[in-house]
Amino acid sequence: MLASDLPPGEKWRKFELRALGLRDFARVKGDQPLNPFALAHFANLIIVDFDQLKGLSDEARQHLLGPAVEKWSGGACTLPDGRKLVILNPTHGRSRTNATLMEEICHVFLGHQPNRLSVVTRDERGKVMSRDYRKADEEEAYGVGAASLVPYSSLKRFLRQGKASNQIAAHFRVSRELVEYRMKVTRLWNDYKNNVR
């Protein structure tokens, strides 16, 4: 690997190295998109269909898919045998779901310990199942997950080729927002903005 394959900033370089390790583990090469669903199994994650959830009241279900639908993207809880159950918001598209699942996978691979095991206790506050880890762990899991989905060296190359963020997003099967977040944290954003104008 070349030093130029890593982004500036110590934290983001660390995240990138972890992400490259995950991509390696998933046998994803070069600019190939990473499919988190193919990795979930290795992280001991069981993905549960929202519609299969039992013990959720009709009110809770209607709340989660109605007024609160934009307020949660997924959640996880740990089973007694150490496996983790992950529930994904069924109304979010594949690109958002990929980022959500990748974050959950990263929590596992990074060895984060949840603060709590409860799954649906926070729905009245609209924060359902979304923050079960320490804030620093959340940042790391999201950052490493995003870097796994959109690696810096590919992002930089695509931008040099004149690709737009939505084209890059389509390639990696993530949202345009995630691609632009990656550009910002790896300091490619200003170049990109100057080029598109």
Q: Which is nearer to Zn ion, 168 or 174 (CB)?
A: 174
State in angstroms the smallest separation of the CB of 95 from Zn ion: 18
Site size for Zn ion, by CB under 5 A? 3
State in angstroms the smallest separation of the CB of 84 from Zn ion: 12
| Positive/negative CA dihedral, 163, 165, 167, 171 | positive
State in angstroms the smallest separation of the CB of 169 from Zn ion: 21
Q: Which is nearer to Zn ion, 31 or 138 (CB)?
A: 138
Site string for Zn ion, 48-67 (x = CB under 5 A): --------------------
Residue with tokens 């991509």: 23
- Ranges within 136-165 binding Zn ion (CB under 5 A): 138, 141
Report the distance separating Cα 114 and Cα 93, nearest Å.
26
Closest to 99 measured CA to CA, from 36, 42, 54: 36
Asked if 86 and 76 touch (Cβ cutoff 8 Å), the reply is yes
Q: Which is nearer to Zn ion, 119 or 164 (CB)?
A: 119
State in angstroms the smallest separation of the CB of 174 from Zn ion: 17
185's CB contacts (< 8 A; 6+ apart) are 7, 9, 12, 143, 146
Asked if 121 and 7 touch (Cβ cutoff 8 Å), the reply is no
Q: Which is nearer to Zn ion, 16 or 103 (CB)?
A: 103
- Ranges within 70-109 binding Zn ion (CB under 5 A): 103
Integer Rg of the chain from CA: 17
Q: Which is nearer to Zn ion, 44 or 153 (CB)?
A: 44
State in angstroms the smallest separation of the CB of 133 from Zn ion: 5
How many C-beta neighbours within 10 Å does residue 141 have?
A: 22
Residues that bind Zn ion (CB under 5 A): 103, 138, 141
